[in-house]
Structure 1
Amino acid sequence: MTDLTFLLQTSNGVPVLGLACGDDIVFDSATDEALIGSRDYRMVLETGLDRLGAKLTDIKQIFVDIGPGGLGVTRTGVAFANALGFAIGLPTTGLPAFELLGAEASLGDAPVAILRKAARPFVHFGVFENGALAHYEHCKRDSALTSLEKLDKYRIVGNVEVDGQEPPLTNVASMAAMLKVARSKAFPQPDARTYPIVEVL
């Protein structure tokens, strides 16, 4: 199998690694009980490649979640993606976690409100609508809740519960949603070295 796309999402604290061929996810660590949550990215990647009968050099694109979210696990994931890109001579493209979560939960015209924990009393707050991240800020929880009150209707994702609202739908995007966001990005030239850093946490 050739022309694989590497996908790594870590900022929710439970790493998920995927491989895609074209527009199809052909390996997803979240579907394997033995691999769920593993931070041994090399082992998980080797497992995926073995199952597909593929080689490291079959990877042609690399995308990684750059947060905001868990600081240590996000940086470790980004470092692994960067090292992989360096080893096989490919650029690494960072994907903001809030774009991934927004794409996962987007349905109809209702915006997606995204809330993730940060150092108290702060949170990461974003609004995803019309297919894009329309707003992001690192702010106090009360400020984020005040902003939410201005929205007539919304779907909520992340890991912060809001009184009077349903629990967040999810705190992780599916590999299909991540691939969709990845495909919307301009892919850097092969000789580029786009090594992303984690967003403000």
Structure 2
Amino acid sequence: MKRPPSNLPRTHAPQGAAYTLPEVMVTSALLTLVIAGLISFHLLGLRLDRIGRAKLGATDEARRSLSLLEKEVREAGWVQVGWGDESTFVPVSPGQPQTGNALQIYTDKADTNRFVRYFLDAANQQLVRFDPENGVHQTLARFVTNQLAFVAEDLSGTVQTNPYNNRVIALTLQFNQLLFPSMAVGPGGLYDFYQVRTRITRRALE
């Protein structure tokens, strides 16, 4: 069989073929899914970061307030649990459970004019420290929702009904912080709840 002459023009196969429409659609769909997944992970990370910042902020405030409160209770000459605000304080009557929204700390038991007062401001959801001698009004924690913060207990945790000298002062702060102010308030995880609790005793017990 004779071969064609070598001087005849040769036909060349196409160097590349174009994508078909189904291939383009499948590729676009996969790319869209990948981008949507990346965006979802990014938004989830931002949300977790926001939740973490809210918790750390409130926890840091609570830690500072507990540190100062523990120091003053341990060095106190006398403490009273009761109900009060910046202008008034009423200690719990003997025979009643020693629980309230305020704690009055006296430097010297014999001098009732020198004291500092811790109380929950329910209207503003704040734990406040008030020092009338220096006129200092200090907000120690915010977004606090409970009203009974201070309890006098015995060593086993039983609530006392009298201001015994060896009582333990228990403090509970419950936080309920709004995480998404742009959303309507209601059920569905719009709020995040957590609490801090500590128990303190005075060093000087007569």
The bucket for the TM-score relative to the shorter chain is: under 0.3
Structure with bigger helix share is: 1
| TM-score for both structures, normalised by structure 2 | 0.26
Structure with bigger strand share is: 2
Higher relative contact order (CA 8 A, sep 6+): 1
| TM-score for both structures, normalised by structure 1 | 0.27
